[in-house]
Chains A and B, each alone.
Chain A
Amino acid sequence: MKRLLVVIFLVASGCAIVPQNRRGQLADPIMSLEQDSLEAHKRAKFYSTREGAAGGDGEPAGGGCGCQ
């Protein structure tokens, strides 16, 4: 928990307001942290049906081992 707080503190302390007119590079689709939703589902489904440690974040996991 302490490590998590340290990470949050470091991230937050590094935050400087980026004005709208300096976000040109951030607007490029290749900078998007969110994948194309259909590709994101493809990946989530693939890993949740093959790795017992998948799921638990974002989308609810499927079966016990994630095999459903």
Chain B
Amino acid sequence: MIRRLFALALVIFAPAFGAHADEPLSDSAILGAPPGFTIESLRLRFTHYDQEGRGYQSQADRPQVSQPGSEAVTVEQPQLEVVANQGKFTHRLWVPVDIVTAASPDALDAISSASRTNEAASLDLTSTYHLSHESDLFLRGGFHLEEPFRSWNLGVGGSRSFADDNTVISASLNQVFDWLDRFNIFGTRLGRDYRSSTNANLGVTQLLSPTTVAHLEYGVTVQLGQLSNTWNAVPLATGNLAEERLPSLRHRHAFVGRLAQALPWHGAIHGFYRFYVDNWGILAHSFEVALYQRFSSFGYVRLNYRVHHQTAPYFWTPSAAANAQYRSADSDLADFTAQTLGALVAVDLRFVRRVQSMHLDFGYERYFRTNDLRVNIYTCALGFVF
């Protein structure tokens, strides 16, 4: 009896099952429904800067008008980054914070020590849409908040790969609008001012061999508005201090080349060169080399060295004329050579429960330059890939 009922059921429902089986299976039928929103990674980095030196723009601890002031500063810089996937989108939320303790970067501290701490924070969100395996488009927006300063930025860009990912071409366009308080060198607030920066970049990355990859990039930035730290001081030939005066237009061009070469002993060497020129008369060359060496499958050591030389703009002087149209004594704009030496140890642990890998690194860098500035940089990072 049971066998007859089972045979009857087969006759009735078999066509339905058969029709269903003929339909092609979708991805979701095989893999299950795609997750709506997943956290891909979470990273934290903390950096401490300890700077000493002297610059003509600073009024802190200045023995005489004709002599430079202190540029001593300490900076604590925590950063947080969260990357999440949502279907064809990847979102990156990034929150960097700067806590600056010094006399020179704050307008009030130009004449007193009333406020020796300056905090700055940003919020930046980048959403990338994966059009196809070859093409990505991204949109980014951000906001920066600082004591005498507000800034908004917006960017758009994309990349496309060719020849089975051997060549990747990328382009981006960014716009930044800064709104800042204007102070004179005595710390008096004179009102509001603005600055606009428009930036465009074009880059190409090329695999040259199974062990070599290269990247070339050109970037141009056009800046308009108040381009000075308005409380920067300039010594005059008359023996007084006066405010800095910078042109309100600046065109900046940068050409960058990078190369990475794998080494046969589980290492790699990276080379970097950058050429910079602008319409203020600054011309600069930067070279950097970094040597990576793996000490195991999960860890490596990096040693890096950088040298940078720049010329000063045509209006830079430590003793300006009182009627000069443009003048600056900012040590960051001077003619100098800077060097950076650094080392970093990193490990990627893959046996941590509930995460694909956990990243840890510790690094130290020493920056020093020919016009009296020295910085010790300590950094560490903790990251999780889920």
Given contacts A30-B267, A39-B45, A60-B221, contact A19 B164 (CB under 8 A): yes
- Whether the Cβ atoms of B254 and A15 lie closer than 8 Å is no
- Whether the Cβ atoms of B284 and A61 lie closer than 8 Å is no
Q: Does B300 contact A (CB under 8 A)?
A: yes
Q: A49–B96 Cα gap in the complex (Å)?
A: 15
Stretch of B8-16, B17-25, B194-202, B235-243 at the chain-chain interface: B194-202
Contact partners of B313 in chain A: CB under 8 A = 52
Q: Does A33 contact B (CB under 8 A)?
A: yes
- Whether the Cβ atoms of B333 and A52 lie closer than 8 Å is yes
Question: B357 to chain A: closest CB distance in Å?
Answer: 10
Q: Does A23 contact B (CB under 8 A)?
A: yes
- Whether the Cβ atoms of B79 and A46 lie closer than 8 Å is no
- Whether the Cβ atoms of A66 and B208 lie closer than 8 Å is no
Q: Which of A32, A42, A60 has the most CB of B within 10 A?
A: A60
- Whether the Cβ atoms of B205 and A33 lie closer than 8 Å is yes
- Whether the Cβ atoms of B216 and A56 lie closer than 8 Å is no
- Whether the Cβ atoms of B228 and A63 lie closer than 8 Å is yes
Map CB proximity to B onto A18-36 as digits: 1 under 8 Å, 0 otherwise: 1110111110111111001
Q: Which of A18, A50, A53 has the most CB of B within 10 A?
A: A53
Q: A12–B381 Cα gap in the complex (Å)?
A: 37
Q: Does A16 contact B (CB under 8 A)?
A: yes
Question: B121 to chain A: closest CB distance in Å?
Answer: 13
- Whether the Cβ atoms of B174 and A30 lie closer than 8 Å is no
Name the contact of A64 in the complex, choosing from B47, B153, B228, B338 (C-beta under 8 A).
B228
Contact partners of A52 in chain B: CB under 8 A = 282, 310, 313, 330, 332-334
Contact partners of B143 in chain A: CB under 8 A = none
Question: A54 to chain B: closest CB distance in Å?
Answer: 8
Contact partners of B174 in chain A: CB under 8 A = 59-60
What secondary structure prevails in chain A residues at the interface with B? Answer: loop
- Whether the Cβ atoms of A65 and B333 lie closer than 8 Å is yes
Q: A7–B204 Cα gap in the complex (Å)?
A: 13
- Whether the Cβ atoms of A61 and B252 lie closer than 8 Å is yes
- Whether the Cβ atoms of A56 and B276 lie closer than 8 Å is yes
Question: B370 to chain A: closest CB distance in Å?
Answer: 12
Q: Does B303 contact A (CB under 8 A)?
A: no
Q: A5–B246 Cα gap in the complex (Å)?
A: 35
Considering the complex, give the chain A residue whose CB is closest to the CB of B209. A18
Q: Does B156 contact A (CB under 8 A)?
A: no
- Whether the Cβ atoms of B332 and A51 lie closer than 8 Å is yes
Name the contact of B199 in the complex, choosing from A8, A29, A53, A56 (C-beta under 8 A).
A56
Name the contact of A36 in the complex, choosing from B198, B211, B227, B381 (C-beta under 8 A).
B381
- Whether the Cβ atoms of A60 and B300 lie closer than 8 Å is no
- Whether the Cβ atoms of A42 and B379 lie closer than 8 Å is yes
- Whether the Cβ atoms of B209 and A16 lie closer than 8 Å is yes
A-B contacts, 19 listed (Cβ < 8 Å): A20-B164, A26-B213, A29-B348, A30-B294, A36-B43, A36-B381, A37-B92, A39-B45, A45-B96, A50-B375, A51-B284, A52-B334, A53-B283, A57-B218, A57-B274, A60-B198, A60-B199, A64-B223, A68-B151
Q: Closest 9 interchain pairs by CB?
A: A64-B227, A57-B219, A53-B284, A56-B252, A57-B254, A52-B333, A30-B292, A60-B199, A38-B45
Given contacts A29-B348, A68-B149, 9 further A-B contacts (CB under 8 A): A15-B167, A36-B381, A50-B373, A52-B282, A52-B333, A53-B284, A57-B218, A58-B219, A60-B174
